[in-house]
Amino acid sequence: MLITLNKRSFTRILLSGVLLLSSSVHAKDTDEAMRIVSAAGALTEIIYELGAEDKLVGVDTTSIFPKAATELPQVGYQRALSAEGILSLSPSILLATEEAGPPAVIDQLQSTKLPIMIIPIEYTTEGVAKKIRAVSKAVGKESAGQTLIAKLEAKMAALDTKIKANVSEPKRTIFIMSMGGGSPMVAGLHTAANAMINISGGINPMTSYQGYKPINIESLVNINPEVIIVTKRTMEGLGGMDEIMKIPGLTMTDAAKNKQVAVLEDMSTLGFTPRLAEAANTIYQSIYPTAAQAAE
Amino acid sequence: MQAESRLTFRFYLIVCTLLLVVVSALSLYIGAVKIAPQDVLSALTNYLHITDHEPGRYQSILLDIRLPRVILAIIVGAALAALAVSGAAMQGLFRNPLADPGLVGISSGAALAAVIVIVLVPSIATIPKSLNIYLIPLAAFIGSLLVTLLVHQLSQVHGKTEVSTLLLAGIAINAIAGAGTGLLTYMADDTQLRILTFWSMGSLGSANWAQLFFAAPIIITALIGIYFYAKALNAIALGEAEAGHLGYNLESIKRRLIVLVALAVGTSVALSGTIGFIGLVIPHLLRLFIGPNHSKLLPLSAILGASLLLLSDLIARTLVAPAELPIGIITTIIGGPFFLWLLLRFKRQGSII
């Protein structure tokens, strides 16, 4: 008993010594430079766009673009952050969105006096502009942020002009997130996919529910989408485009009849990042291939 | 007495079969797409080559979506319920009233394998594309068999199946498989998490003919196989020693039953995910009415289980159309309170189980 107590207190002394040492080293670091931890892929992307990546010391698992971001120290998934993991990077600021959590961890971090910037998520161009504005302010590159916003708004306006000129009636477009669980999981209201479809000149007919839900495959016949968007992973999971075209129920839709099934590289395309205009253009082109071709 | 009980058995058999027929007809008729009854009929008769009508507009919905789904519900429901009966025999064998096929690791093995496929396979690109759709069911099937065999192997003591070891090994393997599933859940991204969550609540939405051709023979063979052990199960319910005295070779019976149960449950879980409560409710319910004789319990459980799963699926796919509810939620919402009500009612009469 006595021995274990001794051992324990010895370890404690040793540990506290190490901790003291490391915290003093980090304290010196924070004086010299800003150390940012980003807990959202879109925010990480903005930091790179603004050329402030040298200040980035940690990212979450959704930060997969640009590729270089994946090589930074990981703080885990944005909804399952751990306070100690983040603090071990001795950040001077944490950038996160409303999706960051769990709330208890955010509270813990706040109680350590770590400055935390929580940015709201809106699936609109203005929503992306807000993210850019907030991040550029945090990293002290506000003019670069303004330029980035102006560029984005110009591109979105150009897309809008194209849509107004070419689209008289928006095509019914659905986004199938996956088929792995049996029934197709389709984007409803309040999803990035829903917003992206509407921004890109289509219209999402799945308005009777929110989020991504499995849907009854025969109801696709009633809804009769003109365009179906799937991710590359879903397409490969189903065994390729030929197999998708054979799915009963889907075969009876206009989308299958006109072979209007578009493949999206990745879910992150729907991330409402600075690449919004590019993503929206890609989707616009897959919804209206002929109009897009004629314009070029 | 004997004649009377045979009469009640016939009565319940007819009632349950009628119920199954009615629910099947409703399931074929009702759906997100409205199809007239005569079109349903002509599509079916066309399919069976009885008639040669012009195919209706919705023939493909009926024959390629609804019919396979109805058949899948019937065989999976039958498997779950009839297996719970053999599970009930295992309860006697295990001397544990909560024992079920899941206890020997069947469901957790299937779940672990399915999760491995959902989370890890996208990163392995070498698998032929045409196999992809069958990967989850196939993996779940193999997973359930492997885990069951492992648990069984662990419980062998001097060439005999030690029941208490089997029980404990099953619990440990279940926990390990659960941890494996948890680890993979942790590694999964948002899309995969959604697939995992919905898979674990069960769905018959993936029903298609190709899967049925693979699954139906396995499940039906296993169910018939289990039925042949009905008398042995009755003897086992009396106790292991008693069954031995009655001349049953307990070792080979245990081994065969475990394999048969693993085959049927593994295949069911593979095709529909994990669907709760059918297996628990149906046999207990029937036992309240017709007693513990497995020769009657097994076939009736199969028919009633099929009807209840079919009815649950009908609700699952129409209640919030075009969206779909996971069927595991429906079976438990219907089954749970009903079971409690029965329990309370029969408790007053002093005769539960």
**Is there a contact between A177 and B194 if contact means CB atoms under 8 Å apart?**
yes
Residues of A in contact with B32 (CB under 8 A): 216, 218-219, 221-222
Mean pLDDT of B188-204: 80
Indicate the residue of A177, A209, A216 with minimum beta-carbon distance to B317: A216
- pLDDT at residue B5, rounded to an integer: 67
**Is there a contact between B32 and A267 if contact means CB atoms under 8 Å apart?**
no
- pLDDT at residue B336, rounded to an integer: 83
**Is there a contact between B195 and A238 if contact means CB atoms under 8 Å apart?**
no
How many Å lie between the alpha carbon of A158 and the closest alpha carbon of chain B? 32
* Contact between residue B248 and residue B234 where contact means Cβ atoms under 8 Å apart: no
* ipTM for the assembly: 0.73
Residues of A in contact with B194 (CB under 8 A): 177-178, 181, 185, 212
**Is there a contact between B204 and A182 if contact means CB atoms under 8 Å apart?**
yes
How many Å apart are CA B132 and CA B111, to the nearest integer? Answer: 17
For chain B, the residues whose C-beta falls within 8 A of a C-beta of chain A are 31-33, 58, 60-61, 64-66, 118, 122, 129-133, 136, 189-192, 194-195, 198-199, 203-206, 208, 272-273, 317-318, 320-324, 326
Local confidence band at B95 (pLDDT 50, 70, 90 cut-offs) = low
3-state SS of B87-152 is: HHHHHHHHCCCCCCHHHHCHHHHHHHHHHHHHHHHHHCCCCCHHHHHHHHHHHHHHHHHHHHHHHH
**Is there a contact between A180 and B60 if contact means CB atoms under 8 Å apart?**
no
Mean pLDDT of A36-63: 93
**Is there a contact between B194 and A206 if contact means CB atoms under 8 Å apart?**
no
Note the pTM of the prediction, 2 decimals: 0.79
Q: Supply angle C-alpha B185, B189, B195, rounded to 5.
A: 70
Of A114, A88, A105, nearest to A19 (Cα)? A88
Indicate the residue of B32, B130, B208 with minimum beta-carbon distance to A219: B32
- pLDDT at residue A228, rounded to an integer: 93
Residues of B in contact with A219 (CB under 8 A): 32-33, 321-322
* Contact between residue B72 and residue B270 where contact means Cβ atoms under 8 Å apart: no
**Is there a contact between B203 and A182 if contact means CB atoms under 8 Å apart?**
yes
> Where in chain A is CATH 3.40.50.1980?
27-147, 167-295
* Contact between residue A65 and residue A265 where contact means Cβ atoms under 8 Å apart: no
Structure tokens at B93: 């064998």
Q: What is the CATH number of domain A27-147?
A: 3.40.50.1980
How many Å lie between the alpha carbon of B152 and the closest alpha carbon of chain A? 30
| pLDDT (tens digit per residue) in B337-351 | 887 887 787 777 665
**Is there a contact between A216 and B318 if contact means CB atoms under 8 Å apart?**
yes
Residue A138 has pLDDT above 50, yes or no: yes
How many Å apart are CA B55 and CA B39, to the nearest integer? Answer: 9
Query: Regarding beta strands A212-214 and A227-231, do their DSSP bridges make them parallel or antiparallel, or are they unpaired?
Result: unpaired
How many Å apart are CA B353 and CA B351, to the nearest integer? Answer: 6
How many Å lie between the alpha carbon of B54 and the closest alpha carbon of chain A? 17
Indicate the residue of B60, B130, B133 with minimum beta-carbon distance to A248: B60
How many Å apart are CA A79 and CA B177, to the nearest integer? Answer: 25
Residue B70 has pLDDT above 90, yes or no: yes
Residues 6+ apart with CB under 8 A from B182: none
Q: Name the CATH architecture for the domain at A167-295.
A: 3-Layer(aba) Sandwich (3.40)
Query: Which domains does chain B show, CATH number per domain?
Result: 23-348 (1.10.3470.10)
List the alpha helices (DSSP H) in chain A: 2-32, 41-49, 83-87, 103-111, 125-138, 142-166, 192-199, 219-223, 232-237, 241-244, 254-257, 276-287, 289-295
Task: Give whichever of A70-74, B5-9, B45-49, B243-247 has the largest mean pLDDT.
Answer: A70-74
| Inter-chain CB pairs, A–B, below 8 Å | 118
- pLDDT at residue B128, rounded to an integer: 57
**Is there a contact between A182 and B272 if contact means CB atoms under 8 Å apart?**
yes
User: Nearest-CA residue of chain A relative to B209?
Assistant: A248
Residue B32: what residue type?
A: A
Local confidence band at A1 (pLDDT 50, 70, 90 cut-offs) = very low
Which residue has better confidence, B141 or B327? B327
- pLDDT at residue A207, rounded to an integer: 92
Residues of B in contact with A178 (CB under 8 A): 191, 194-195
